[in-house]
Amino acid sequence: MTREVKIHPLFSPWGRFGLYSFFIDAPEPAIVDTGIASSPAEGMASSLEALGRSIEEVRWILLTHGHIDHLGGAHALSELTGGRAKVAIHEADVHLLRSRRAHVDLYMDVRRQYLDNPHAEEEQTKMADAVISGEMEPDVLLKDGETLSLGGDVTVSVHPVPGHTAGSVAYVVDGQADMFTGDAVQVHGAANGFPGYEDPAAYRSSLRYLRDEIRPRHLYLGHPYRTAAGVPYGVELDSDQAQAAIQESLDIEARIADATRRHLREGLRETDSAYSPFARVAEELSYTGDPALEPSPFFTTLHGYRKQFHQES
């Protein structure tokens, strides 16, 4: 590569969250992740103007996975480029780009059974309508290990890293090992203080792959995930911080796995605890966060171990 490709984080506010997207300043400029419906017009446009750039220039929309806070703005961003940007997402998460209802189903299939909220379906439907800017087909359906050309000699390689969701991918700018992982590296989670992943075994092996095979020079995270002490890492990590964040993610996963498997073997108990049926797991991990606070990673993650345990036994 002749010259280094610059990366710029773009910030969009959303309630108690800040959403991060990243601008890759390639000959065909790319944006990694799109926030929610309002993010392109409200957050990205002004951030790009401050860089002396404009949103119309964007030619690639690279989605790390299918969650609403990452793809909600995809349709709106595509419109702002006059439809000239190509949208890429992995095939295992594409239903979440094609359909708002798929997000409601995700909730109804897993979290609903742990959360006592009779209005959940209605609330989830309203939220999907409000924060997803449009249902759409991708231009590029990622399967495994593609290389995308961003013009000139700039290429981005795609690395499937399932676990957080089945279709999570890492994008790596070739030649300079700048890596975007969305939510695939959770450390101790963000605001909820608990890491969220649907498939624990896949999450673990994806983290090992990132640690041992990619060894990023910079790691760009989808949220400012926190250390064990609750200190946010920020979203732009150097190589030492990247290895530390990946290792810490593996360490906390091992602790959760150990506690959860033991209590699964002993048998789960329904109690009136907000953490039920995983109250003893929460206690052992000293987790005191609100387990009902959306997106409720405590239940998503522990449900993943439960599912795996039933498949094994």
- In the complex, which residues of this chain contact Zn ion (CB under 5 A)? 67, 183
- Taking the complex as a whole, the smallest distance from the CB of residue 38 to Zn ion amounts, in Å, to 18
Of 135 and 294, the one with the shorter C-beta distance to Zn ion is 294
- Taking the complex as a whole, the smallest distance from the CB of residue 183 to Zn ion amounts, in Å, to 4
- Taking the complex as a whole, the smallest distance from the CB of residue 60 to Zn ion amounts, in Å, to 20
Of 67 and 306, the one with the shorter C-beta distance to Zn ion is 67
Of 246 and 264, the one with the shorter C-beta distance to Zn ion is 246
Of 29 and 200, the one with the shorter C-beta distance to Zn ion is 200
- Taking the complex as a whole, the smallest distance from the CB of residue 66 to Zn ion amounts, in Å, to 8
- Taking the complex as a whole, the smallest distance from the CB of residue 310 to Zn ion amounts, in Å, to 24
CA-wise closest residue to 246 among 290, 185, 294, 159: 185
Of 28 and 198, the one with the shorter C-beta distance to Zn ion is 198
CB atoms closer than 10 angstroms to residue 68: 22
Distances from the Cα of 308 to the Cαs of 256, 260, 271, 303, in angstroms?
14, 11, 22, 9
Full strand arrangement of the beta sheet holding 86-90: 7-14, 17-24, 30-32, 60-62, 86-90, 140-142
CB atoms closer than 10 angstroms to residue 286: 6
Q: How far apart are CA 295 and CA 312, in angstroms?
A: 27
- Taking the complex as a whole, the smallest distance from the CB of residue 165 to Zn ion amounts, in Å, to 6
Are the beta carbons of 216 and 257 closer than 8 angstroms? no
Counting DSSP H helices and E strands in the chain, the numbers are 11, 12
- Taking the complex as a whole, the smallest distance from the CB of residue 159 to Zn ion amounts, in Å, to 17
Of 29 and 297, the one with the shorter C-beta distance to Zn ion is 297
Of 81 and 300, the one with the shorter C-beta distance to Zn ion is 300
Q: Which residue has the tokens 């700018």?
A: 173
Of 65 and 263, the one with the shorter C-beta distance to Zn ion is 65
DSSP 85-114: SEEEEEGGGTHHHH-SHHHHHHHHHTGGGT
CB atoms closer than 10 angstroms to residue 90: 27
Q: How far apart are CA 217 and CA 168, in angstroms?
A: 20
Q: How far apart are CA 170 and CA 183, in angstroms?
A: 9
Residues 6+ positions from 74 with CB-CB distance below 8 Å: 34, 61, 63, 87, 97, 133, 134, 136
- Taking the complex as a whole, the smallest distance from the CB of residue 196 to Zn ion amounts, in Å, to 7
